[in-house]
Amino acid sequence: MAGHLMSAVTTRNSKAQLQKNLIMLLGEKPRELQARLKRLRDRKVILLGRGFARKAHERFKEAGIMNIWLQDFTKLDKKFIAANRSALFVYGHMHEKPTFDQVAHTLQGSKAVLICFQQLYSLYPDVFLPYCYVTAPSELLKHRGDLLRVFSLLNDRKSRQTFIEHLMVRLLRIPMIDSRLIVKDTYFSDGIVAHDQDAIFYDCGAFDGDSVFNFIAHCGQKFKRIVAFEPDPGNFSRLRETVAAWPHKLSKKIKLVNRALADWAGKAGFSTDGLASSRMDESAMGSVITTTLDEFALNEKPTFIKFDIEGAERLALLGARKLLGKVKPALAVCVYHRPEDLWQLPLLIKSFNPGYRFYLRASNGYGDELVIYAVNFCG
C-alpha cells in the first residue's frame, strides 16, 4: 500500500483519484495495522541525531526499554549500516543535517527501515503519547468518515495532496514526499487571502510579534489595524518591546491584548514558559484572563484572523461563532496541536458559516506546522 501511494501522490491526479488514494490509505484493517507496527517494534531501534534522539533515549531508559541505541549522524558509515542492516533507524530532528532523504539514500541497499521521529510515538505510545497531533494509528482510523468529509471540503489540488501526505506522515511513518507542497510562509501562503489598505488582522497567539511582522511585510505596510492577542506575560513583554521599536506610523495602528481566547470571559488555568508553547491548562498553577472574539469584536469587522494557540483553537473558535457567521473573516487556523484538530476544526468552522472554502498548507514535511485556511465566497 505505501509504495503505491508514494508514487500516486507525486503525480498530478484528479480529485477522484486522490480520493481513491485516501480511501486506500484509510482502509487498513486493525489486524493488518497492528501486525505492521509489531514488525517494526521487533527491530533493533537506533536513534539518529542529537537533541530529540538523546531525549527519546532517556525516555526509553526511564520506561525500562533497553534495546534502544543512540548514534550520531557522522558515524553512520557502511560498516555500521552493515552491522545493523535490519534495524529501525529513527531520524532525530527535522532541522538537523543530513536531511531525511540523504539518510534514506545512505541506507539504500540494506534491509533497514527509516522513520521520522514523530512516528516513534505511535510505535511506543505508552512512552511518548499524547503529543500534539500524534495518536495511535488505530485511533486515527476510527475517524475515517470525518476525514473523508474534510477532504471533500478542500478547494484545490494542493490542499488535497497535502491532506493525503499528512495522513501518510501519521499512518505510514514517513515524512511528506512531494517537496513542492511545502510552503515557506506558515500563515500567509500562496495568495490564498488577499489584503488591502482596509485590512484588519487579528493575531491570536502573537508570541513575540513574529507573525505581526510577517503580516505587515506581506501587505506592504498597508493595513487599517492589527490586534495582537498574547496571554503569556513573558511573551507579551517581548511583543510590546518589539512593537514599540517600530516606526510610529505602524505601531499606532497595533493594539496589544494580554488575554487568552476561549468561549467564555473570565479566567483559565495557564501553563507559562515564556516560549511559543505556553498554553491554557486546567491543571496549571498559573491563570490568565480570558475573553471571546464575539465579545471583543462587537464594534469591529476583522478581515483576517490567525489562530495558533497551542491546542485552544477549538475554544477560541467556539467563542467566535457569531463573528464567523456574520462578519465572515478569512481564517488561518493551526490544525496540528491535537490529533482531532485536523477534522474537528474545519467541520466546526463550516457549521458556523457554510460559505467558507478551505485550503490546507504545510510549512514542513513532518506533520506539524499544518494550517487550514477558510475563505468566505458567499455574500
Within a domain: residue 239?
A: yes
Within a domain: residue 11?
A: yes
Give the DSSP letter string of 126-161.
Answer: HHH-SBTTB--HHHHHTTHHHHHHHHHHB-SHHHHH
Q: What is the pLDDT of residue 278?
A: 54
Q: What is the pLDDT of residue 10?
A: 47
For residues 166 and 222, state if they share a domain: no
Q: Which domain CATH number covers 353? A: 3.40.50.150
For residues 224 and 277, state if they share a domain: yes
Residue 306 DSSP SS3:
strand
Looking at the 3D structure of the chain, how many domains does it have? Answer: 2
Q: What is the pLDDT of residue 272?
A: 65
Q: What is the pLDDT of residue 242?
A: 97
Within a domain: residue 302?
A: yes
pTM of the full structure: 0.83
For residues 8 and 107, state if they share a domain: yes
Q: Are 143 and 171 in contact (CB under 8 A)?
A: no
Q: What is the pLDDT of residue 343?
A: 98
Q: What is the pLDDT of residue 36?
A: 84
Residue 298 DSSP SS3:
coil
Q: What is the pLDDT of residue 304?
A: 98
User: Domain residues for 327?
Assistant: 200-376
For residues 278 and 336, state if they share a domain: yes
For residues 34 and 146, state if they share a domain: yes
Residues in the chain where the model's pLDDT stays below 70: 1-13, 93-96, 173, 271-285, 378-379
Strands 200-204 and 113-116: unpaired
For residues 368 and 266, state if they share a domain: yes
Q: Are 45 and 88 in contact (CB under 8 A)?
A: yes
Q: What is the pLDDT of residue 364?
A: 87
Within a domain: residue 310?
A: yes
Q: Are 181 and 158 in contact (CB under 8 A)?
A: yes
For residues 173 and 220, state if they share a domain: no
pLDDT in tens, 289-348: 999 999 999 999 999 999 999 889 999 999 999 999 999 999 999 999 999 999 999 999
Q: What is the pLDDT of residue 353?
A: 96
Which of 320, 309, 378 minimizes the C-alpha distance to 349?
320
Residue where a domain terminates, one of 149, 180, 211: 180
For residues 135 and 205, state if they share a domain: no
In sequence order, the 6+-apart residues with CB closer than 8 A to the CB of 194 are: none
For residues 165 and 218, state if they share a domain: no
Q: What is the pLDDT of residue 309?
A: 93
Q: What is the pLDDT of residue 115?
A: 87
Q: What is the pLDDT of residue 269?
A: 73
